[in-house]
Amino acid sequence: MRIVLGVGGGIAAYKVASLLRLFTEAGHDVTVIPTEAATRFVGVATWEALSGNPVTNSVFDDVDQVKHVRLGHEADLIVVAPATADLLARAATGQASDLLTNTLLMASGPVLFAPAMHTEMWQHAATQANVETLRSRGVTVLEPASGRLTGSDSGPGRLPEPEAIFEAAIALMQDTGVPAHLPLAGRTVTISAGGTREPLDPVRFLGNRSSGKQGVALAAAARDAGATVRLVAAHMEVPAPAGVELIAVETALQLREVMLAAAAESDVVIMAAAVADFRPAEVSGSKIKKRDDTADPVITLVRNPDILHELVGVRDAAGSSQLVVGFAAETGDEQGDVLSYAEAKLKRKGCDLLVVNHVGADKVFGQDNNSVVILSRAGAEPQSASGSKQDVAAIVIDRVASELSRVFPRT
Ligand code: C5P
């Protein structure tokens, strides 16, 4: 989920670094917005490094992106910690004096304040009135913890522990219908996409019509589900999505090498690439010349390894519970229909799930829509999915997440 973490200018800002870690480890995408005063306690570099997102407190940075509007609208949750007396006052009176207060005014989701200040400031009638105002508008304002404060004083006013704020935030998300954790948080997913190109000479290759759209949509869906995603991309017509690690390859043999290495560190491997079954037996070091005095060249092909089958073999030999997903583009013929061919392929390849497309002249390749059936080795009923390639990707990733939690429960 997308969380905005507003940080107020109090000494407890240093504890909020741990809160940020709790959110990111649970798979949330966190944008930190410190107030100007907060950056005197903990610097922007710390928030950027821990969140992995750029940090600013000015509405005048990246003006073209109208940050406060986007952040406020897109946030599934806004947490403000430490919420100082000043921040509570500014929020209660609807001020828009910096990026954080602007974002709070644009918020469309739940908002949680975790106050921290000296006891007298917390108990002051002005602060209490501001807290009342915020609560009356549906904002959650936690009670501060009691104990030792910054100086020698003690009493109510301590920032609640990061774990307590985290739990309150999760509970608030659950109460408001926002899922509290992402289904692939903490998982690593490696996805191959696009079509391999098998060189004949320095200028020519044997390729195929894969656009990479479905693989890219899968990578984006896995990323949105909280996974760390590695996209191993053969030739693609579309750009890789942001927020995934991209490894570019060209040939089936390069794809094989990268996939075997990446799979060793992955919970899920998805082979969505269109891998050439054959490659030219010989690759000419110079351009094959067109000459009238010699016979036309004959290209001899040799088989490429079946990477999917090999990945399953490596997984089984290691006895790991990695989930391996294959894709199959099938056509029916007089000997059998698409599904019977696909069932046989699932057995042959040994993968856990096989996503089957029915291929026709105008179907699948390069198109924006897709219609698939997901077959499972465990014998579950075939599951149909259709729609845009993004819709199909979301359904496949959902299925991956549910298979994974069954065979490989979260510890
Ligand atoms: O055998 P077929 O090409 O129909 O199988 C498709 C599935 O196998 C896809 O998941 C594809 O990425 C994978 N594949 C492979 N290595 C090959 C050919 C296909 O991993 N040489």
C-beta of 275 in contact with ligand 1 (< 6 A): yes
Please give the distance, rounded to the nearest whole angstrom, from the Cα atom of residue 306 to the centre of ligand 1.
6
Phi-psi region of 124 (alpha: psi -120 to 50; beta: other; left: phi over 0): beta
Among the candidates 130, 147, 175, a domain finishes at 175
Q: Which domain holds residue 123?
A: 2-175
Q: Of 144, 175, 206, which closes a domain?
A: 175
In three state form, how does the secondary structure of the chain look?
CEEEEEECCCCCHHHHHHHHHHHHHCCCEEEEEECCCHHHCCCHHHHHHHHCCCCCCCCCCCHHHCHHHHHHHHCCEEEEEEECHHHHHHHHCCCCCCHHHHHHHHCCCCEEEEECCCHHHHHCHHHHHHHHHHHHCCCEECCCEEEECCCCCEEEEECCCHHHHHHHHHHHHHHCCCCCCCCCCCCEEEEEECECCEECCCCCEECCCCCCHHHHHHHHHHHHCCCEEEEEECECCCCCCCCCEEEECCCHHHHHHHHHHHHCCCCEEEECCECCCEEECCCCCCCCCCCCCCCCCCCCEEECCCHHHHHHHHHHHHCCCCEEEEEEEECCECCECHHHHHHHHHHHHCCCEEEEEECCCCCCCCCCEEEEEEEECCCCCCEEEEEEHHHHHHHHHHHHHHHHHHHCCCC
> Are residues 189 and 146 part of one domain?
no
Same domain, 160 and 225: no
For residue 175, the CA-to-ligand 1 centroid distance in Å is 44
328 lines ligand 1 (CB under 6 A): yes
Say yes or no: 43 and 170 in one domain.
Answer: yes
pLDDT tens track, the chain, 411 positions: 889 999 999 999 999 999 999 999 888 889 999 999 999 999 999 999 999 999 999 888 777 666 677 788 889 999 999 999 999 999 999 999 999 999 999 998 999 999 999 999 999 999 999 999 999 999 999 999 998 887 788 899 999 999 999 999 999 988 887 776 788 988 999 999 999 999 999 999 999 999 999 999 999 999 989 899 999 999 999 999 888 999 999 999 999 999 999 999 999 999 999 999 999 999 999 999 888 888 888 999 999 999 999 999 999 999 999 999 999 988 888 988 889 999 999 999 999 999 998 876 455 556 777 889 999 999 899 999 999 999 999 999 999 999 988 765 443
How close is the Cα of 81 to the center of ligand 1, in Å? 50
Q: Determine whether 208 is an active site residue.
A: yes
For residue 306 and ligand 1, the question of a CB distance below 6 A is answered with yes
Residues 128 and 225 in one domain: no
- Check if 397 has its Cβ closer than 6 Å to any atom of ligand 1: no
Q: Check whether residue 114 and residue 241 sit in a common domain.
A: no
Residues 305 and 398 in one domain: yes
Q: What pLDDT does residue 218 have?
A: 97
- CA–CA gap between residue 175 and residue 359 (Å, rounded): 44
**How far is the centre of ligand 1, averaged over its atoms, from the C-alpha of 357 (Å)?**
13
Does residue 275 share a domain with residue 147? Answer: no
Domain end (from 175, 200, 224): 175
Considering the domain architecture, whether residues 138 and 247 belong to the same structural domain is answered as: no
Please give the tally of structural domains in the chain: 2
Q: What is residue 408's predicted lDDT score, i.e. its pLDDT?
A: 52
Residue in 206, 256, 271, 345 to alter for ligand 1 test, most ligand atoms within 8 A of Cβ: 271
CATH number for the domain spanning 95: value is: 3.40.50.1950
CATH of the domain at 216: 3.40.50.10300
* One domain, residues 40 and 134: yes
Residue 178: predicted pLDDT: 73
Q: Tell me if 273 CB under 6 Å of ligand 1.
A: yes
* Closest atom of ligand 1 relative to the 310 alpha carbon: 20
Q: What is the pLDDT of residue 366?
A: 64
Give the per-residue pLDDT at 13: 97
Catalytic residue, from 57, 102, 130, 208: name it.
208
> Is the CB of 398 within 6 Å of ligand 1?
no
Statement to judge: residues 31 and 164 lie in one domain: yes
Q: Which of 208, 236, 306, 374 maximizes ligand 1 atoms within 8 Å of its Cβ, making it the mutation to test the pocket?
A: 306
96 with 220, same domain?
no
Q: Note whether 17 and 130 are same-domain residues.
A: yes
